[in-house]
Every structure is written in C-alpha cells, then in structure tokens.
Amino acid sequence: MNDTATSSPETLRARMVDHIQHGFWPACERVADAMRTVPRHLFVPDATLEEAYDDQSVITKRDATGAALSCASTPAIVAMMLDQLDIQPGQRILEIGAGTGYNAALLAHLTGPNGYVTTVDIDPNITGGARRGLDNNGYQHVHVATRDGALGDTEHIPYDRLIVTVGAWDLPAPWWTQLAPGGRLVAPLRWRGQTQSVAFTYDGAQMISDSMGLCGFVPMLGQDGEHTGYVDPDGHVSLYWDEDQNIDTTGLLGICTQPKAATWSGVTVRGEEPFDRIWLHLSATEPGTCRIAADKTATTSGLCTPAVGIRSPAIAENASLAYLTTRRLPDADDARFELGATGHGTVGADLAERLCAQIRNWDTDRTTPPTITAYANNTKPDHINLFTIRKTDCRLVIKF
C-alpha cells in the first residue's frame, strides 16, 4: 500500500477509532460507527490530517495570553461522553458548547433523520465557525444558537439528552427545566479541584449518576465558584478549592517549608496505572479536599512533591495541609510505586493518615465509582449532611 493510501483521511479515521476501542473507555458500536463516518479533519481545517486524527485536542481559539478558549476535544473523551449519553434514534439533543461543530455532527448522526440537535455557545465567532462546518458537511439541519449556555435553549424543549462540552462548575437551573424526566445529562463537572465527566439520569426531581470518567475541559464562562491561591510566597505551589469550603490560603502561606510528616499506605500501583479515583473517595469523606499544583521548580527542589505535579488531591484544614504523593519501590520487579501522603502543619500528620485511609479504601475496589445525587436548590430542602457539596444552583451528595 502506498503512503497516500496509508495516510488517507479514511485510514487515519479508522485507526483513531481502533485506538479508542482499545483504550480506557471503549465506546458502544453505534458511537464507534459515528466516529468512523463523520470526517473530523473537515471541522479542524487548520490542523494537519495527522493532527486531526491523533488522540489529542485541537485548539481552535486562544486568548491574548495563549490560554485555550475553544477546541475540538480529544477523540477518546468525545467517545466516552457520547457513550455515556446513550443516544437513541429520534431523540432531541441539546449541546452546551458548540466548538467546531464536530460533536454536533456526531450527535446528528446518532439521532438519525427523525432526531433534532441544537448546539449553543456564547461566542458568536465559535457559533459562526460551527455553522460553517456543519453546513459544509451536510448537517444543515442542526440548529446553532449564539447564547449563554447556562440558559440552555427553550426553542425545542423538552430535550431527551443534554450534553455539556465545556467545563461546568455548576448545573444551572435552566438545564433542569429543559431536560425531560427520564432524560440524561452528561457534563464535565468540576468539584474539589477535579473534573469528571458525569452521566446523570433525571427523574424529574433529582439527577442520579451511573458513570463517570476523569477529563479536562475549557471552563464555562460565568461560573466562578472555584477559587485559587498560592501557599508558597514565590508562587510555585497553589491550591484550588470551592466557594463552599472554609479554606484560606493566607494561613497556609509558607506551609511547604514547615517540617514534613510522610505517611505510606502500603498500597502500590504500576507506572501507568490510574489512581485518580482516590480523589473521589476524599471528596466523599473529607470537607477540606482540594487540588494542589506544584510547578517544576517546586518539584525538582523538593519543596512540594505531589503524585502528579500539576494536579493532585490534598486536604486543607485550618493552617495544616496534606497531599497525595508517591515513592518508587527499588526492589520491585516492575516499575511499581507506593502511594502515600505528605503533611505539614500542626495536624499535618493526622491529615496524612486520613488521606492514606482513603487510599486504602480505594484499594478495596479500584474501579467502582461513587453515586452522585444532584438536587436542584429550589426543589430540595437543605441536607444535614457534612459532605454535601453546595453550588449555586444545585447540591451534590456523593456516596460509595
């Protein structure tokens, strides 16, 4: 076979789907077929064919600082979320975040000729580009609207499915009223410093999750419930926490220079084995769960050594802190690491022990996710529950 044939869009697209199907979240065959059919490269014309069909996001708009404002999401994450959405032919779909129009084209393929797809975005440049991409590729019937995604779209309610393709800190009230009872909502929901693509079923009063997977998305504009602050005076170590948490980084400034209390859990992982669900256990049990991020200067100097430098779970309590860390086991036959925690401050050792307790809880069942129940704030009275996570329009209760 010549080089042209092996690098054709059809061949690269098939290879992309094969990679997805052998990855961390194989999609159902209907989703795989949609991704084999819809030409991703035509929705990202500034990317090369190889870039269009690599398992990576393609940035399509940046701000003045270079930060991404819009992109075509990583194909594996696209496949996971579509699989979670469980689209059936003939359904009405609302997408929040128009992107390039590629995801809306996949939605239209899955709903078929009797379905209806609406995609909305607050940025007219993005909706204009999505409209052109859809029109140029035979998806003129997809409705594209320029509006605040938090408001949804009332023009074609109720929707059987609602999918959010921007990072959501909250589940705004209009989404609840526009989704039909029995419908499904899939959103990259952010809490306690992490983002999980959570699939909810709506029963008309509450939303109950049945699956989730770690992901990352450009944040949705207007949802400012997450705070950040430095705990290192030179700006090398920062925390991310939610507005309902009693965390004050001024009391933690310089915490990483205080004596360390290292605790090891006895739980090990191989080099590429995921352990992000420890974060879920922490968010269900520890009110001070947050995210710690240390830059290269901090990690190489030993000032702060989280398990994953830019994104690891931590517990903050008053003027003390503990975070997840790892150490390589030199005598292991394979690349194996032990999970543990490093604590600083008056109760840092206790926080490290509590973090290790959740590592051990995770180790008893590494794959089963918790159940997240979301209650709309205007339909559910306040919970007397220490671990209720309070947002502007909803409250989350997480249980294993």
Q: Which of 73, 197, 209, 312 is catalytic?
A: 73
Contact between 260 and 323 (Cβ < 8 Å): no
How many angstroms separate the CA atoms of 172 and 168, rounded?
A: 9
Q: What is the DSSP letter of 222?
A: T
Q: CA dist 267 to 132, 297, 338, Å?
A: 52, 28, 6
Q: Are strands 68-72 and 58-62 parallel, antiparallel or unpaired?
A: antiparallel
Contact between 126 and 145 (Cβ < 8 Å): no
Residue with tokens 């669900």: 277
Here the tokens at position 33 are 């077929």
Q: What 3-state class would DSSP assign to 258?
A: coil
Name beta bridge partners: 316: 321
Give yes or no: 7 in active site. no
Contact between 92 and 159 (Cβ < 8 Å): yes
Q: CA dist 63 to 67, 69, 97, 110, 229, Å?
A: 6, 6, 17, 33, 22
- Which residues are tagged catalytic? 73
